[in-house]
Amino acid sequence: MHAINNRVSTIEGGKLDELNIHPVNSSISMTLNQDQLTTTTRLVTSPDLTKSSFSLNGRVYEEVPGRIKDVIIIAQLRARLAGRTNVYPHLCIESINSFPTAAGLASSASGLAALAFGLTELYRLDEDASSLARRGSGSACRSLYGGFVHWIRPNDTLGWTGGFQTLCSSVSKLYPASHWPELKVLICVASSQKKSIGSTTGMQRTVNTSQLFQRARCESVKQHELLLLSALRDRNFDNFARIAMQDSNQLHAVCLDTWPPCIFLTDVSLKIMNWVHAMNRCCGRTVVAYTFDAGPNAFLFAEESNVSFLLHLLALCFGTKSCETTSEVPSGDSSINHVHVTDPVDKMVKNLLFRGIKYPVYSMPIDMELLKALPRHEGGILYVISTEVGDGPRVLASNLP
């Protein structure tokens, strides 16, 4: 089973309710296609097990991590209340991500969503897997529905829990993956190193110390939320792109205003941001947008018709070795300079590794002026994962009766 999510616009921004994990701000996320990015989690339980165990990407942990334990305890409590008979004390959990872990690619949201989904299936729980996932990692609650998902902050949804009125957040599916198939995602992996600061710790520090966050961020998030909802409804790429970029920049601005500062962006991140702005300026319209989660890797958005072109230019500007280029002036028009890449297929593959969805190789000549205007950083991107919006988690195999 699998789940991965990618925040496109608004952020959790710390927790309003630390215990029950409800967010300060609403957020909208896209569930990425599990054909390209996936967490596979195997759950085994039996009365014969004498010890619980947890492994991530093959590494066995000495102890089951705290938040995973929390999710298990709540799932087992729910299962016992529902009268399930297969609630044995120990569980063996093996989880594998097909993409870098703890590098700002939402691996913990993906992992916790997979775990919560698996436990819900294992114990045949009636309750929502999303509320279970939330207890492990706030943003994981958005990864259970597929498509475009809205996590709404408590202010707007007053609820009752166990007889006490509490502030509750709610999660709802906005659109299925099929709503906007032309929208594509290119994940530029600049570094697969682990982050120096976790997003949960970082976000809480932001809420506690950033004056810009305390005085202005929430108001802006509300505006971004409304604008993004309209852009998604209308599949308006131009508006979607602007809000995604503005919100990403504001998120990283409040991170910088945190004390001590949380810096997730690197030189390559900044170069890619400038590259996107230069690209849109040169093209005279918005062809590409970026967003950064709590990490240095860019999530680029583009419409399908532009992806080949963009991948080609990403390879030229951020590939591991510069392409040799030959400049030639087409006869008859001396005012236009073009650059031809000799054997583009071969060069591009050598230049930058592409994973995920395959696109036709872009074979048109590239405008020399455009290439000159774009920032470059040889080897700045390790590889690109081409993906798109996809469905929610699924059961791969089960021997439950």
Residue numbers at the binding site for its own copies (CB under 8 A): 211-212, 214-217, 219-220, 223, 242, 246, 249-250, 252-254, 256-257, 259-261, 263, 265-267, 270, 273-274, 277
- Minimum distance of its own copies from residue 6's CB (angstroms): 21
How many angstroms separate the Cα of 320 from the Cα of each of 280, 350, 364, 376, 381?
Answer: 24, 8, 22, 11, 8
- Minimum distance of its own copies from residue 211's CB (angstroms): 5
In this structure, are strands 353-356 and 383-388 parallel, antiparallel, or unpaired? parallel
Q: Are 46 and 88 in contact (CB under 8 A)?
A: yes
- Minimum distance of its own copies from residue 214's CB (angstroms): 8
- Six-digit token pair at 318? 């951020």
- Minimum distance of its own copies from residue 270's CB (angstroms): 5
- Six-digit token pair at 173? 């599916």
Torsion angles phi and psi, residue 185, rounded to 5: -120, 130
Alpha carbons 64 and 61: distance in angstroms, whole number: 6
Q: Which amino acid is at 207?
A: V
Comparing CB distances to its own copies, the nearer of 43 and 268 is 268
**Residue 247: other Cβ atoms inside 10 A:** 25
- Minimum distance of its own copies from residue 217's CB (angstroms): 7
- Distant-in-sequence, close-in-space partners of 105: CB < 8 Å, separation ≥ 6: 4, 6, 37, 99, 187, 189, 293, 295, 297
Comparing CB distances to its own copies, the nearer of 63 and 267 is 267
Q: Are 96 and 58 in contact (CB under 8 A)?
A: yes
The residue behind tokens 């991590």 is 65
Comparing CB distances to its own copies, the nearer of 223 and 326 is 223
- Minimum distance of its own copies from residue 260's CB (angstroms): 5
Comparing CB distances to its own copies, the nearer of 58 and 260 is 260
- Six-digit token pair at 17? 């309710």
Which one, of 101, 298, 104, lies nearest residue 197 by Cα? 104
Alpha carbons 300 and 310: distance in angstroms, whole number: 10
- Minimum distance of its own copies from residue 279's CB (angstroms): 12
Comparing CB distances to its own copies, the nearer of 113 and 268 is 268
Q: Are 133 and 144 in contact (CB under 8 A)?
A: yes
- Six-digit token pair at 219? 């108001």
Which one, of 6, 4, 32, 8, lies nearest residue 231 by Cα? 8
- The maximal CA–CA distance of the chain, rounded, in angstroms, is 82
Alpha carbons 249 and 91: distance in angstroms, whole number: 41
Q: Are 264 and 292 in contact (CB under 8 A)?
A: yes
Comparing CB distances to its own copies, the nearer of 260 and 332 is 260
Torsion angles phi and psi, residue 187, rounded to 5: -95, 115
- Minimum distance of its own copies from residue 364's CB (angstroms): 27
Comparing CB distances to its own copies, the nearer of 133 and 227 is 227
Comparing CB distances to its own copies, the nearer of 93 and 273 is 273
The residue behind tokens 């789940």 is 3
- Minimum distance of its own copies from residue 12's CB (angstroms): 18
- Minimum distance of its own copies from residue 44's CB (angstroms): 41
Comparing CB distances to its own copies, the nearer of 242 and 347 is 242
Comparing CB distances to its own copies, the nearer of 133 and 251 is 251
